[in-house]
Amino acid sequence: MLQSALIRFILFAVCFLPQPARAQVGPQSDSGPRGGACDACDINCDSIRDIQDVAAFADLLVDSSQPCDLCTGDLDTNGLIDGADVQPFVECLLVSQPQGACCLDAATCMIATESACIGLWLGDGATCDFNACSFANLTAYRPQHGSGYFPFTKTAVLDEDEENALTGPGIRINAPGDSDPSGEDDLIELLIETGRPEIPLTLVRTHTALRLWTNHTKVAGTEIAFINDETPALTLSAGSSSLTLWVEWGESAHGNGEIQLKPLAADYPLDVVRFHTFEDIVMSLGGEGQVTTVPVDPNNGTFVVGIALYEQGFDVHMYDEDNVAADGSGAVYNEVVTAVRDRGVSRVAIFGYSHGGGSTYDLSERLDVNRPGIGIFEIVGTSYADAVENDSDIDVQQELRRPPSTAYHANHYQVGTLSDFFLDGGPVPNSNPSPTGLNVETTPWAPVRPTSPSTTTCRFEVTSKQILLRGSCLEGEPFNVFAK
């Protein structure tokens, strides 16, 4: 009897007072995005305040059945479900409850009230437009050199590569004791962009070696601390929708780990970037008079190839060959030694054109001679393009010596012509194509097949991480210049 009276009373109220469009905001609701909180008015816990809750409320009142959530039915929050809750219950059913996009993960969006949203509620009126829940993005860049990116342009890691532990963002080990010849340049730039600056974001790491800084030279006080591998809410400048941070691999052991961008109030990643430590280093040496420039001179083939490799994720260092002295010493040697000693690099590749080929020999020889003091490494591949010894600027002797200790050597040479005053390379023992390399004038050139904007004129094709370079412009079977 009491039950039907209550139902009639509540039905009367619901039927004859103005109806809400759908569910409404409850009295406990906070403003702004939040996950699904306990809603005292949602009596049947179906995340919607509607007529179905009336009967459930009546049940609670009459038979003391267990509420489906802690606060359910206790509208006046006095700890009891009783007659004092009836009036607030009626009122809460009648109050309009706004809806908005509710993100369960970066790809799953539904329209719900804030209280009904068990993911990230984007706010009143937010719609599930394309990528609504993937409103923030991480972009990692390829490594720096010295105080900036020269001789490369600032190059973002492609979205399709950013979680790949081979082609994704490589990072140099930067454990204590590492000394960078050109200054601190081992941190990787990480750009955070958000379409909803009002939603607090956080970063999560999956490896403790990953550290974050707001400054690429690690100025004291610019590190962002992780607490249980998660940062506090990231602080964007007022009016800004982006933030630039710098990622460091601060341990001496190799590894890989993710940086995940997440909403502070939800447990799903908006974007993920996987960093892997560099175990290789690639040295590219130009010919006499060839200097690194931005943009690259398309006639400087070794630099064109170097840039293509850099874009693919290798730690490439490009130099004027004059940075290798005739005894192999100099800035290039120092860079390799530092890489092996301080950064755990164990594989070295070197290639050069003309005098850069001669310098490839000189550098390889010095690295090989001084191994005991450098550390464990392998010269995995070398390549000459028309190599000439480089004892001085006017040295015109063909470089006919195989670089010492190289695991794989490619050699391409031509017969000198008047255009370069008969300067040329020559056959080198135990080179590829076997047995002494290739006199390119004995093989017709196929049409150049551009593989990327920066390799349209080169004689090599960069193919994959596993196979560094292939002579793709030659007819017949392509050959590996060197393989990783």
Partner 1 sequence: MRHFKSIAAILMGLAPFFAANAHAQIAGSNSVGISPFANYQDSFERLAKAADRASFDAEMARLVELIGTDQSTAIEQLLWYSTKHDQHEKTPALVGGVIKIIGASNEAMIRALVPHLDNVDSELRGRAARWLVGCEDHSAVRPPDFSIYRAIIEEDIRANREPQITLVRHMFQSDAAAALLTMVRACQLRDPADIKPILWAEHTVADLLWKRRNGFVGPKDTSQEAVAELETLSRHSLWWVRLFAAEVIRNIPELATPGMKERLQSDENGAVREAATRKQD
Give residues in contact with partner 1 (CB under 8 A).
288-290, 325-329, 341, 362, 365-366, 368-370, 372-374, 391-396, 418-423
Q: DSSP code of 291?
A: -
Residue 405 beta carbon to partner 1: minimum distance, rounded to whole angstroms: 12
Strand 188-194 to 242-249 pairing: antiparallel
- 466 exposed, middle or buried (CB, 10 Å; 0-12, 13-18, 19+)? exposed
CB closer to partner 1, 16 vs 421: 421
Whole-number Å distance between alpha carbons of 385 and 402: 13
Specify the residue for token string 């209280």: 115
Residue 325 beta carbon to partner 1: minimum distance, rounded to whole angstroms: 7
CB closer to partner 1, 30 vs 420: 420
Residue 130 beta carbon to partner 1: minimum distance, rounded to whole angstroms: 52
3-state secondary structure of 311: helix
Whole-number Å distance between alpha carbons of 309 and 9: 76
Residue 326 beta carbon to partner 1: minimum distance, rounded to whole angstroms: 4
Residue 292 beta carbon to partner 1: minimum distance, rounded to whole angstroms: 15
Contact status, residue 48 vs residue 36, Cβ threshold 8 Å: no
Q: How many CB atoms lie within 10 A of CB 208?
A: 12
Whole-number Å distance between alpha carbons of 391 and 355: 9
CB closer to partner 1, 163 vs 395: 395
Q: Characterize 362-378 residue by residue with b for buried, 16 or more Cβ atoms within 10 angstroms of its Cβ, and e for exposed.
A: bbbbbbbeeeeebeebe
CB closer to partner 1, 315 vs 362: 362
CB closer to partner 1, 78 vs 417: 417
- 133 exposed, middle or buried (CB, 10 Å; 0-12, 13-18, 19+)? buried
Pull the structure tokens for residue 235.
């602080």
Residue 252 beta carbon to partner 1: minimum distance, rounded to whole angstroms: 16
Q: For 342-391, list the strands marked E by DSSP.
A: 347-353, 378-385
Whole-number Å distance between alpha carbons of 68 and 61: 14
Residue 286 beta carbon to partner 1: minimum distance, rounded to whole angstroms: 11
**Range list of H helices, 34-176:** 52-63, 86-94
CB closer to partner 1, 64 vs 419: 419
CB closer to partner 1, 329 vs 439: 329
CB closer to partner 1, 252 vs 329: 329
Residue 400 beta carbon to partner 1: minimum distance, rounded to whole angstroms: 15
